[in-house]
């Protein structure tokens, strides 16, 4: 039974990787789309941290005292 599960999970992972790497008609894959969006996500995360860091520090200081 364990071997059968291993084979099924392996096939599912292989199919998932194939799906993510497969080129669409526009010539790009899903993985390439993620890679091109990463700098934008980093900028958004930095802005979020900058906007909320003061609130977290203030909340931590009030709870510590």
Mean pLDDT, to the nearest integer, of 3-31?
A: 93
Token pair listed for 1:
């039974």
Query: Which residues constitute the domain of residue 14?
Result: 2-64
| pLDDT over 80 at 65, yes or no | no
Mean pLDDT, to the nearest integer, of 54-63?
A: 81
Q: What is the number of domains present in the chain?
A: 1
- Between CA 22 and CA 64 the distance in angstroms is 52
Token pair listed for 12:
């599912």
Q: 34 or 14, which is more confident?
A: 14
Computed over every residue of the chain, the mean pLDDT equals 89
| pLDDT over 80 at 64, yes or no | no
Token pair listed for 11:
């096939």
Residue 22 phi/psi, 5-degree rounding, is -70, 135
């Amino acid at each position: 039974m364990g071997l059968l599960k291993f084979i099924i999970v392996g096939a599912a992972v292989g199919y998932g990787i194939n799906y993510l790497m497969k080129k669409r008609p526009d010539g790009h894959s899903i993985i390439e789309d993620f890679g091109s969006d990463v700098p934008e996500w980093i900028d958004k995360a930095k802005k979020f941290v900058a906007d909320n860091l003061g609130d977290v520090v203030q909340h931590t200081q009030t709870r510590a005292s």
